[in-house]
Structure 1
Amino acid sequence: MDLGINGKTALVTASSGGMGRNIAHALAAEGANIVLFARSADKLSAVAREIEQKYGVRTVGVPGDMCVGSDVERLAGVLEREFGGPDIVVVNTSRPPNPIRATLDEADEARWREAYQNQLWSAIQVLCRMIPLMQGRGWGRLIAITSASVKSPMPHHSLSTVFRAGVTAYMKHLANELGAKGITVNCVAPALIETPHRTGMAAYSEDQAAARRNLTPLGRMGTQEELAGVVTFLASMQAGFITGSTIAVEGGMVGSLL
């Protein structure tokens, strides 16, 4: 299936590795030019080279921090100068502070401030600067990566749940305001996705890994490719009548009807 995004420009944040890198690869495989944004200049350069070599699309890495206004402004300048602005924006953010704790044990103001900055304010700051570059194009896709915890709060994830739920609410407001501009706005809410730091003995014992697999009716962890595929579909022409939605990618772990 031709997803209709060949030649479009996609920004993916937190894309020097892990989920962001995999999403960038998936979009590039459909012919989208890629702008990478993350803090590590060396890692960004390496990812940009591998994407260009594998897919033949134009790829630019912009080092910077989503929480720093001047860095986001510089990112916007590169996008406007080099591509005229983004068509697709995938907002991926960092994890909450470690170690994760029970909600009543989260009494450290510094941890709450860090989680707010990294997961909610960073997303708002990037989107506030990108949207003006998109509104005159008559077409666009905004996608935020949140967490299945916004649908069913998971133990010890309150720092993540509170602020990613905030992102979900913010994206819903944007969907209502930007629909007339041809811009769709959605969230992808993953859980139980295999990542390098979650797989193998370094992350979980065999019993712990088995317990996680048993949380879903499918009896396994999800793959990075499956998650990136959902994001890429939401970026497609075919997803043009989906907006204001949160798509859960969690193997049926969340048991609610809605």
Structure 2
Amino acid sequence: MKNKIALVTGGSRGLGKDMAIRLANHGHDLIITYNSNKESAEEVVNQIKNIGQKGTALQYDSADFKSLDHFIKQVKETLNSFFETSTFDFMVNNAGVGATIPFEQATENDFDRFMNIHFKSVYFLTQQLLPIINNNGRIINLSSGSTRVGVPGYSIYASMKGAIETFTKYLAKDVGKKGITANVVAPGPIETDFNNAAIRNSPERKVMIASQAALGRVGQANDIGGVVAFLCSEDAKWISGQRIEVSGGMVL
């Protein structure tokens, strides 16, 4: 029996890297994407291969909506040439960027960029790849704890993630007939290079955030990947249309 294949966008670093490694540890093959850092992506691919799974990386800029058709073509060609198949099993829409943009200073360009990356590209990439996702597959969309708890400067980002959460509920209804589940994973504050490493670079902010979590610390990238791997397992086959916040009990 062939290994199942996962596509993880933004899989070259941070949360996406941990998701890819965890999925490989669960016996799955990987296609990961990167935006600009090919070297980091190749390092992740090497880790996947060292685990004993097949892996490859494709360049994808989710901010450039016009590049979507080319990327979809690349995915199909890669499935055919590298994995000798025409379908895959798990789609993890993780690619994203962060920025603290006060509402009064937000521009139309800011809005359009975040919309393309966090919502529009996710919506249409999922639509276009759905025909080649196997029955009983999984779709996981990444959201954020900022849709539940207001974070200053996150009005654009959180609005797009709120759209993702609504979209995922509708998606779950539409794909359920194929036995495919669709869920949201919503990380809380994570100490990565996200948003210019805002947490990592500010010890005072890190202490403040940790004090708001039931578990008394900020999140790490390896707190998230295991949840994604679980949702891609048979044990999670009856979970669909749900928002799962992974925040250590933030602001309860």
Q: Tell me how far apart the structure 2 counterparts of residues 102 and 65 of structure 1 sit (CA, whole Å).
A: 25
1:14 to 2:14 alignment: no
Give the length in aligned residue pairs.
242
One of 212, 220, 230 as aligned partner of 2:227: 230
Q: What TM-score comes out, normalization by structure 2 length?
A: 0.89
Q: Tell me how far apart the structure 2 counterparts of residues 6 and 199 of structure 1 sit (CA, whole Å).
A: 41
What 5-or-longer segments of structure 2 have no aligned partner?
none
Runs of 4+ in 1 over 3 A off after TM superposition: none
Per-residue deviation at 1:235?
A: 0.9
One of 34, 38, 42 as aligned partner of 2:34: 38
RMSD (Å), alpha carbons? 1.9
Name the amino acid aligned to 2:210. R
Q: Secondary structure of 1:176's match?
A: helix
One of 175, 179, 182 as aligned partner of 1:178: 175
One of 204, 209, 213 as aligned partner of 1:212: 209
One of 86, 93, 96 as aligned partner of 2:95: 93
Per-residue deviation at 1:122?
A: 1.7
Q: Secondary structure of 1:143's match?
A: strand
Name the amino acid aligned to 2:16. G
Name the amino acid aligned to 1:7. N
Q: Secondary structure of 1:23's match?
A: helix
Q: Tell me how far apart the structure 2 counterparts of residues 199 and 154 of structure 1 sit (CA, whole Å).
A: 13
Q: Secondary structure of 1:218's match?
A: coil
1:160 to 2:157 alignment: yes
Aligned to 1:27: 23
Name the amino acid aligned to 1:61. A
Mapping 1:29-68, distance limit 5 Å: 29-40=25-36, 41-53=38-50, 55-66=51-62, 67=65, 68=67
Q: Secondary structure of 1:170's match?
A: helix
- Residues 147-206 of structure 1 show CA distances to partners (whole Å, capped at 9, x for unaligned) of 011222322111111111111111111101111110000000011222143554xx10x3
What 5-or-longer segments of structure 1 have no aligned partner?
none
Q: Tell me how far apart the structure 1 counterparts of residues 79 and 207 of structure 2 sit (CA, whole Å).
A: 47
Aligned to 2:146: 149
Aligned to 1:113: 112
Q: Secondary structure of 2:88's match?
A: coil
